[in-house]
Structure 1
Amino acid sequence: MKLGRLNHVGIATPSIADSVRFYREVMGAEVIREPFDLPAQGVKVCFVDTPIGRAGGTGGPQIELIEPLGEGSPIHGFLAKNPAGGQHHLCYEVPDIHAAKAWFEAKGARVLGEPRIGAHGTPIFFVHPRDMGGVLTEIMETPKMAAGHGS
């Protein structure tokens, strides 16, 4: 397996609305996708597009703003420790989610749960930060087409 494209950086936030204002007003973000609920994951999600390279073209990695949907959300615990929010995870693409899962497990990495459908509508799983240099890492199957939420 090879390291795939960085798809997004997950940022936990207590308020997507406040974070959207920050990315628009302070960071100059021009393309901010409509927030949507992802109840199966216990979160509300909003993607902020970043440009590729210095030319300012679109298509670079995205910022994924993640707000908890209630106290049962996995993001709730992160925000309890980091009330202002912050970087939650990095997400990399792979061509085959099941082959990637088997590869990580064969390396002794702790895969957190079975593959499930993520915010881009493709299968994902997470790898424990202790096995990834201290960074919670999301692995997602490369989207087959550019349709869907933020793809």
Structure 2
Amino acid sequence: MKLGRLNHIGVATPSIADSIAHYRDVMGAADITEPFDLPEQGVKVCFVNTPTHSTGSGQADSRMNGTQIELIEPFDESSPINSFLEKNPAGGQHHVCFEVPDIATAREEFEAMGKRILGPTRIGAHGTPIFFVHPKDMQGMLTEIMETPKEAH
């Protein structure tokens, strides 16, 4: 297994609208996507895009994409993040997501190491295959593994 790019940090929130206002008004975020529903995963989602890396000349380096903050709000009462929000009513960091070049190979490698995969590989919010690894096998962090989007390279 080789560590890939940190794609995003998932932040559970009781209100995407309130979180958008926070990132815009407090943190100065200027690039925030429109929220959309992912009922098959039980969440509403939007992305706060952080600035891309600058070369120092004021020009963005096109090889470096900014990491995203993925805001996730429960879609309904069956959402898997409801239990997280019961323990953390204000919301908070829910997971980290790393990219891999091939999701099937990564899953096989994690399983060979005895890491517990949570559920089947499925399509995530970026439209690419994902799976989650149990936090007890990842030093306490729920970890999403995502196949690198093909258009990113």
How high is the TM-score relative to the length of structure 2? 0.92
Gaps of 5+ in 2: none
How many residue pairs align between the two structures?
A: 146
- What corresponds to 2:102 in structure 1? 96
- What corresponds to 1:20 in structure 2? 20
- What corresponds to 2:9 in structure 1? 9
State the alpha-carbon separation in 1 of the partners of residues 106 and 12 from structure 2: 25
Q: CA deviation at 1:5?
A: 0.4
CA RMSD across the alignment: 1.3
| 1:15-55 CA-partner distances (Å, limit 9, x unpaired) | 00000000000000010001000011000000000013455
> 2:92 is matched with which residue: 77, 86, 94?
86
> 1:71 is matched with which residue: 66, 77, 86?
77
Q: CA deviation at 1:93?
A: 0.3
Structure with larger Rg: 2
CA contact (8 A) 1:113 1:125 kept: yes
| 1:69-112 CA-partner distances (Å, limit 9, x unpaired) | 11100111100010000000000000110100010011110000
CA contact (8 A) 2:85 2:91 kept: yes
Q: Secondary structure at the match of 2:83?
A: helix
Question: Structure 1 vs Structure 2: percent identity of aligned residues?
Answer: 72
CA contact (8 A) 2:53 2:65 kept: no
Q: Secondary structure at the match of 1:80?
A: helix
Counterpart of 1:7, as a letter, is: N
Matches within 5 A, 1:109-120: 109-120=115-126
How high is the TM-score relative to the length of structure 1? 0.93
State the alpha-carbon separation in 2 of the partners of residues 16 and 35 from structure 1: 8
CA contact (8 A) 1:47 1:65 kept: yes
| 1:117-138 CA-partner distances (Å, limit 9, x unpaired) | 0000000000000000000000
CA contact (8 A) 2:115 2:137 kept: yes
Q: Secondary structure at the match of 2:150?
A: coil
